[in-house]
Structure 1
């Protein structure tokens, strides 16, 4: 869920009800968000920092990792367009990657962000797991 806060001629898109929280970005026209949206670089940094420190505690992605029994890399994806099982997500929806150990665990410190990830796609704004969303909102506020 996103919130819209009016800022003069702009509309701030945010994960928080608090208008002072760091937002995803701003747009000029709510009727044409996809063309007028500009992401906030600070939000991108917070998103990637949050993923880098919290992905290891996320039940969804840790659960996916535990089903593996070989060393490999796993894409961390945006749930707005989750890929079918055993498929690689779109580059626009890939938040980053982590290394999986042969024991099926996410290797601490292995998260690498994807610089091609897009905050807004045709599928909308980011949709994270409940845990990651909560951690990110706390940091934005």
Structure 2
């Protein structure tokens, strides 16, 4: 009657992905190059500005994620958290990327991959606790 117990078809379950245009991909790639250059410049200064580096790595990771370069996004977002623990957009995206990697490992029957990304997601929850308690 209301459809509460109806199973959704596989098409309804799929999440629509918006495909980036060539121009959008090119703009994001240029933004990544600019961010990498800025990161290199900040890292070369004698007094490293951890807050700024955290922000730059977070921006870099988020643009990699938009370009669907998952491994590069994860690496950059992890570096961001190494410099400064936050639970902002980068944290949320990293948690989402870990969950995607865990799901992929589950589909492939990769128990080690499942364990790895479950562990990483647990680490992220610990970060959220630390930030919330100290904030």
**TM norm structure 1:** 0.28
Instruction: Name the structure with the higher strand share.
Output: 1
- Bigger relative CO (Cα 8 Å, ≥ 6 apart): 1
Instruction: Name the structure with the higher helix share.
Output: 2
**TM norm structure 2:** 0.28
